[in-house]
Amino acid sequence: MIGIDAVIAEMNQHFTDTLWQDKGVQRDFFGRVFRNKDRDNKLMPQILKGREYQEVLFDDKIPVTCFYDCEDKAGSDQFQYQRKTGIILIVNLTKLYPEITDYRPEQEAEYDVKQALSYSPAVFDDIETVYNMDSYGDFATESLREAANLQPWFVFRININLSYLLDNC
């Protein structure tokens, strides 16, 4: 594995090892998704498992789902590339922060992810955070409707520029 996929795999491993690891809940950290269209011509986030594409859908039994949506273009300076990448997270706030009952701990979730990101030299800069349905970008959102901004679910996207070498050397 080389290029952006290697950088995302490294970030995913760090997320798996550190992000909400102490909560004892299932966490699905997927890699880069492909922007494929379904039969109805709707854009769906899909991962490649083996030789088959599989949609990354909202599942209310899984307290944390994360995947990476990369722009189709990358800027480069010979061998150094930069690519705008969205890290999309769907999290169950009650499962992650059961001790917080008097307010909605959205900022805690965002802070935890940004802390986990801060270790990575590949993150060129943090561009913005997008909340709720808008965080899903131009993907079809039917499977996400019940989660968007309804307690205990929080959907957000952290847009970053990833910096990487094509050969990761």
Where along the chain do its domains lie?
Answer: 3-165
Q: Are strands 153-165 and 123-131 parallel, antiparallel or unpaired?
A: antiparallel
Can you give the C-alpha Rg of the chain in angstroms? 16
Q: What percent of the chain has pLDDT over 70?
A: 87
Q: If pLDDT is split at 50, 70 and 90, which confidence band does 42 have?
A: confident
**Residues 46-89: pLDDT tens digits?**
888 888 888 887 888 999 999 999 887 777 777 788 888 999 99
Residue 62 pLDDT: 92
Considering the domain delimited by 3-165, tell me its CATH architecture: 2-Layer Sandwich (3.30)
* Res 95 pLDDT > 80: yes
Name, in order, each residue with C-beta under 8 angstroms of 43's C-beta and a sequence gap of 6 or more: 35, 36, 37, 138, 139, 140
**Predicted TM-score (pTM) of this structure:** 0.87
